[in-house]
A = this chain, B = another copy of it.
Amino acid sequence: MNDAKALFRPLEQAPAYKRLCQAIEDEIMAGRLNPGDQLPTETALAEAFQLNRSTVREGIRLLEQSGLVERIAGRRLAVARPSTTDLGKRLGQAMVLHAVTFQELWQTIAALEPAAAAHAAEARRPADLEALEENLAASEAAADDPLRLSELDVAFHAIVAEATHNRALLLARAAVAQLFYPAFAVVVTRLDTASARLLTAHREIAKAIARQNAAEARQWMERHIADFRRGYCKAGLDPEASIATLMEMNKA
């Protein structure tokens, strides 16, 4: 009798609002609806799908939340591309709820950032270099302001990632970075030697990227990330603790 679960599938048809969402999602994924295209009005959709407007609206909410659809300025539904930051936020939430530890984040960042630096060195464009320079200048000016410096640190790594012009890499690291670097603000505040080391590393990484020296960029980034971990432990923080606790310290 126990194999009943294995034998039979759930066998339930999803509620109408979900099916509507799926139907429109399919159209988008199949390329029959493209980003920018306007969707029919709610009443029109209701008529087309033979559903009530309330039901249609529920379906639209699902699409809205998945970022596949947006309300353009005024108010007309249009197909959209899910934004990187939006997805990053959602991934970040998930990690907090899964009680991910600093250690886990660090391992992931340690895999991604050196690769990002190397590819940035290969694919960077003039605009990227300018952004890096600007960030470095601002960082040097903010050497005494841990909070501001921490913000600029997040920005620096984001610029490097963007310089790869690799959207997959960008998306993958966005989530982790969003949690990792802010968590690190606490360290910068506690260790006064951290700022100087951070600045040196950033400068060298930027230099290597400017010179298109991928190997060097990767190497400096590796050291930089290793430094992060050392600083974290030196600051008396537990790598095995959930980052959720860190985020709270940050607020205080």
**Which residues from B are CB-within-8-Å of A110?**
115
Known: A65-B65, A67-B90, A87-B91. 16 other contacts (CB 8 A): A17-B61, A25-B93, A58-B61, A62-B62, A65-B66, A81-B97, A82-B90, A91-B172, A94-B171, A104-B169, A107-B164, A108-B168, A108-B172, A111-B114, A172-B175, A172-B176
Query: Which of chain B's residues have a CB closer than 8 A to the CB of A169?
Result: 104, 107-108, 111
Of A64, A164, A169, most B-chain CB atoms within 10 Å: A169
Q: Give a binary string over A22-51; 1 marks a CB under 8 Å from any B CB, 0 the rest.
A: 000100110100010000000000000000
How many copies of this chain does one complex carry? 2
A29–B112 CB distance below 8 A:
no
Cβ of A246 under 8 Å from chain B: no
Evaluate contact between B57 and A81: CB separation under 8 angstroms: no
Can you list the 6 inter-chain pairs with the closest CB atoms, starting with the nearest? Answer: A111-B115, A61-B61, A65-B65, A82-B94, A104-B168, A108-B168
Q: Whole-angstrom distance between the alpha carbons of A164 and B105 in the complex?
A: 12
Interface size class of A (residues with CB under 8 A): 35 or more
Q: Is A200 an interface residue (CB 8 A)?
A: no
Nearest B residue (CB) for A95: B168
User: Cβ of A35: which chain B residues have Cβ within 8 Å of it?
Assistant: 97
| B65→A93 contact, CB < 8 A | no
Provide the residues of chain B in CB contact with A105, threshold 8 Å: 168
Closest to A79 in B: B97
- On whether A168 and B62 interact (CB within 8 A), knowing A91-B87, A244-B31, the answer reads no
Contact, CB under 8 Å: B87 / A90: yes
Contact (Cβ within 8 A) A104 B166? yes
Residues of chain B contacted by A91 (CB below 8 angstroms):
87, 91, 171-172
Task: Indicate if A98 sits at the interface (CB-CB under 8 A).
Answer: yes
Within 8 A of B (CB), among A43-100: 54, 57-59, 61-62, 64-68, 81-82, 84, 87, 90-91, 93-98, 100
